[in-house]
Chains A and B, each alone.
Chain A
């Protein structure tokens, strides 16, 4: 049974990682016609070219700017919203939760299309001015918000409401009480929400595709390449990004493991 489950796990992970492996291997492929299926020697040329290709770098920069702004704005709005929703009565809370869940269950393409209609109407109303990156940022904030709220709300529910009241009873003004008592408690939820918003924004294609106007983000640029052929430069770029995220995740995981060990140690010493 043990062996069987090990084999099964290995097979699923093979399925999940085979295309990624292909992408990484072919970023080192030494070929002129950028063949996708024949490996003809090792080269770092595509990495070199990547850092000279201003279209790719521009698209990457746009993607990062949008992701950072969208993550910050949606975290701010979402945290406020979560605190507000948490203190609501049953019915308004239910309505708010339904609105929050809606973009998550609505097909992405419909969300994208509907926003496109809105932005087009807005551009017309404002005299044909290009919305540029603003429309993308608005769209990204909108689809990130529910994820932020859903990761902050559980932390708020877990919190003991008496804490906040106790702080106020002890003479702490409400705003200060919020920052001193509530915020540290829900911080893990906020950070998870922000990281999720950031990654969702970086990877989003469908909604960006309909709302981008003339702005190129990385996924849109990649899409325009898939219509002819993808330059191995893009393989190189995604390898670099993949490694960055891998390193980031390993750092987080190792830190967490260390923290847990330290906590356990502390508990033992106390006990």
Chain B
């Protein structure tokens, strides 16, 4: 028996020794070597928890800059980097508690909601001298009056991706997502705000409508669409669009770069009916353990060369004009990434919804995904049915026993 234990530990030792292999530090290749300007700092032993969207930071592969590793190198502060896939799940994780983040990067309407619920720290801007690089138009946003709780990370719009190999017609607007010709090849957002926004654009309703009937109307439209939708996904769209598994999908403009590069047949448009304009900003949640270090991180992210290197990989638009000189010319002048004023006029940002509307939207969204509202009677019937079976079996057994006894 001891031998068994030994072999378990043998495997463990084997695994640990694999871990101990000298992990060759990923060399910063190409243009992104800052070791001469910024010396390497001693480790401080501090680790900050950063919670960001998936595929939303330059990871250091394929010659890009490893943004988090560079931060660690410059400051000696370790980064524990984790990802979420929608504003709502970020909110759940924070509101649920049990997780302690130092930096989060939600979108504007979620920031407004979190400010109203007192979930964000006020940022000490004296620790963020690089805030001076942020463009003026991002400095006093409606979602965070006076810009006390957030520092913009990126901005962009929502658009429509399609595969030209299969979608031959000219794509102009959202209505094609309801075209039965493409049944089973359409992807949709797997979060309520983004999904409803598409239906609302078609109906010409505001994304921030306070009228429940308008939300119901949008939900009707989404239910109508459901039979031809292949799947409700978020970041999986990369995989499914690149492989040609899906042909039509709404997603964020910043990802156009990555997607179009990986599959030549994928095109991107900003629909004529109008679309959502968003800003994602860095915030510090209430009770963050390492607020100072978090501010250092925000400051670091705002330096033009880092924002440039980061956006070069991520593909979203930077709120720092000074960072544009680090980006390729064709990106900065591309209306997909940096839309002109005329396009921006057709966009609308998400605002915070009142609690009543919010719960109703959640219920409507669940209804869309499960195909119609359910009936309490059915549920009660299920439970009663099982109970009846249970009781019937017990009675049957008892009678059988009686018969056997006689």
Using CB atoms and an 8 Å cutoff, list the residues of chain A in contact with chain B: 33, 35-37, 51-52, 54-55, 57, 60-61, 64, 68, 116, 119-120, 123-124, 128-131, 135, 187-188, 191, 194-195, 198, 211-214, 216, 224, 226-229, 240, 244-245, 247-248, 251-252, 255
Chain A residues with CB under 8 A of B15: 60, 64, 244
Q: Point out the residue from A64, A213, A224, A226 that lies within 8 Å of B12, measured CB to CB.
A: A64
Closest chain A residue to B49 by CB distance? A214
Residues B1-52 near A (CB distance < 8 A): 1, 3-5, 7-8, 10-12, 14-16, 18-19, 21, 23-24, 26, 49, 51
Partner-binding segment picked from B133-141, B235-243, B335-343 = B235-243
Chain A residues with CB under 8 A of B239: 36, 228-229
Closest chain B residue to A57 by CB distance? B19
Q: Point out the residue from A129, A211, A226 that lies within 8 Å of B100, measured CB to CB.
A: A129
Cβ-defined contact, A135 with B98, below 8 A? yes
Chain B residues with CB under 8 A of A216: 80, 82
Shortest Cβ distance from residue A271 to the other chain B in the assembled complex, whole angstroms: 25
Residues B286-330 near A (CB distance < 8 A): 287, 289
A selection of 10 A-B contacts at a CB cut-off of 8 Å is A33-B263, A64-B15, A120-B96, A120-B97, A124-B97, A128-B97, A198-B8, A212-B99, A214-B82, A226-B236
> What separation, in Å, do the CA atoms of A120 and B21 have in the docked complex?
37
> What separation, in Å, do the CA atoms of A256 and B309 have in the docked complex?
58
Apart from A64-B15, A68-B12, A248-B7, what 16 extra A-B contacts exist at CB < 8 Å? A51-B18, A51-B23, A120-B97, A128-B97, A128-B100, A129-B100, A130-B99, A188-B1, A195-B4, A227-B85, A227-B236, A228-B54, A228-B235, A244-B14, A252-B4, A252-B7
> What separation, in Å, do the CA atoms of A51 and B99 have in the docked complex?
28
Cβ-defined contact, A248 with B11, below 8 A? yes
Cβ-defined contact, B8 with A35, below 8 A? no
Cβ-defined contact, B55 with A213, below 8 A? no
Cβ-defined contact, B16 with A228, below 8 A? no
Residues B37-84 near A (CB distance < 8 A): 49, 51, 54-55, 80-83
A52-B243 contact, Cβ under 8 Å, with A64-B16, A214-B82: no
Chain B residues with CB under 8 A of A251: 7
Cβ-defined contact, A116 with B98, below 8 A? yes
Cβ-defined contact, A214 with B19, below 8 A? no
Chain B residues with CB under 8 A of A247: 11
> What separation, in Å, do the CA atoms of A116 and B3 have in the docked complex?
38
Cβ-defined contact, B238 with A228, below 8 A? yes
> What separation, in Å, do the CA atoms of A251 and B10 have in the docked complex?
11
Closest chain B residue to A215 by CB distance? B80
Q: Point out the residue from B23, B98, B243 that lies within 8 Å of A54, measured CB to CB.
A: B23
Chain B residues with CB under 8 A of A187: 1
> What separation, in Å, do the CA atoms of A57 and B16 have in the docked complex?
10
Shortest Cβ distance from residue A134 to the other chain B in the assembled complex, whole angstroms: 11
Closest chain A residue to B9 by CB distance? A68
Chain A residues with CB under 8 A of B8: 194-195, 198, 248
Q: Point out the residue from B24, B54, B80, B98 that lies within 8 Å of A227, measured CB to CB.
A: B54
> What separation, in Å, do the CA atoms of A22 and B262 have in the docked complex?
23
> What separation, in Å, do the CA atoms of A146 and B137 have in the docked complex?
60
Q: Point out the residue from B1, B23, B99 that lies within 8 Å of A52, measured CB to CB.
A: B23
Shortest Cβ distance from residue B20 to the other chain A in the assembled complex, whole angstroms: 10
> What separation, in Å, do the CA atoms of A55 and B100 have in the docked complex?
19
The residue in B83, B85, B239, B287 that gathers the most chain A C-beta atoms within 10 A of its C-beta is B239
Asked if B268 lies at the interface with its beta carbon under 8 angstroms from chain A, I say no
Cβ-defined contact, A130 with B100, below 8 A? yes
Chain A residues with CB under 8 A of B98: 116, 119-120, 123, 131, 135, 211, 213
> What separation, in Å, do the CA atoms of A57 and B262 have in the docked complex?
27
